[in-house]
Structure 1
Amino acid sequence: MSRATDEFFAALPARAPAVLRAPVTGTLQIDLVDDDHTDHWLVRISPGRAVVERAGGPADAVWSSSADLFERLVTGRAQGVSAVLRNESTFSGNVMLFLVFRQFFPAPPGVRDPRETAREQTGRA
């Protein structure tokens, strides 16, 4: 498991109040495959709260990805929805959990909010 992935999961509980604002509740299991080994993570999501456990178990949804792809997701070098649509990862279960969880991923390096760009162009700060 990469350091970036471990740090990502360790930071989820502290980041949850700012990220998890939607009224979605459930458990997402994330399976990260590396050759012949699979790491399981359970993320219990509720508004403003995320509880992370390094284990498999009953879940409302399961997302499976290579460990390499997940590292690219947590560093902003890949996008979660695109990875699923390209069959680079798989998802089953409550899709709202995936849509809410992906908000934890950073934007790609160098991407700027278009609203900020517009404000700069109009001279408003």
Structure 2
Amino acid sequence: MTEATEQFFETLPARAPQVLRAPVGGTLRIDLSDGHSTAHWVIRMRPGNAEVSQGPDEADAIWYCGVDLFERLVTGRAQALAALFRNESTYTGNVVLLLAFRRFFPPAPGTRDPREVAREHVRRAR
């Protein structure tokens, strides 16, 4: 497991109040494979709260992903839905959990909020 991935899972509970504002609840298991072994991360989500544990627990949804891809996701170099559409990972179960969970991933490096870009444009136009 990479350091970035470990840190990502460690920070989930602290970031949950800002990320999980919608009324979403359920358990997502993320199975990360390096080709030889699989690590199981379990995230129990509810509005404003995320609990993280490890183990092959039962879940409402299971996301199977390679370690390398997940490293790119947690560093903003890949997008979760795009990876699913390209069959780089698989997902079964309640899709609402994935849509909520993907908000934990950072934006791509250099990406800016379009609202901030518009504000800067207005300031320069004055």
For the aligned pair, the TM-score class normalised by the smaller chain equals: over 0.9
> How far apart are 1:90 and its partner, in Å?
0.4
Q: Which runs of 5+ in 2 are unaligned?
A: none
String of CA shifts for 1:57-116, please: whole Å, max 9, x gaps.
Answer: 110000000000000000000000000000000000000000000000000000001111
Alignment match, 2:53:
53
Q: Read off the aligned partner of 1:115 and give its amino acid letter.
A: R
CA distance in 1, matches of 2:89, 2:107: 19
1:117 paired residue number: 117
Quote the offset at 1:122 in angstroms. 0.8
Letter in 1 for 2:30: I
Instruction: Name the residue aligned to 2:17.
Output: 17
The one-letter amino acid paired with 2:3 is: R
Deviation at 1:18, TM superposition (A): 0.7
Deviations 1:34-61 (A, max 9, x none): 0210000000000000000011111000
TM-superposed CA distance for 1:3, in Å, is 0.3
Aligned residues: 124
Output the CA distance in 1 between the equivalents of 2:98 and 2:19: 13
After superposition, residues 1-125 of structure 1 pair within 5 angstroms as 1-123=1-123
The one-letter code matched in structure 2 to 1:39 is A
RMSD across aligned positions (CA):
0.8
Q: CA–CA distance in 1 between the matches of 2:17 and 2:55?
A: 23
1:69 counterpart letter in structure 2: L
- After TM superposition, where is structure 1 displaced by more than 2 Å over at least 4 residues in a row? none
TM norm structure 2: 0.97
Give me the whole-angstrom Cα distance separating, in 2, the residues matched to 1:54 and 1:6.
11
SS at match of 1:101: helix
Q: Secondary structure at the match of 1:123?
A: helix
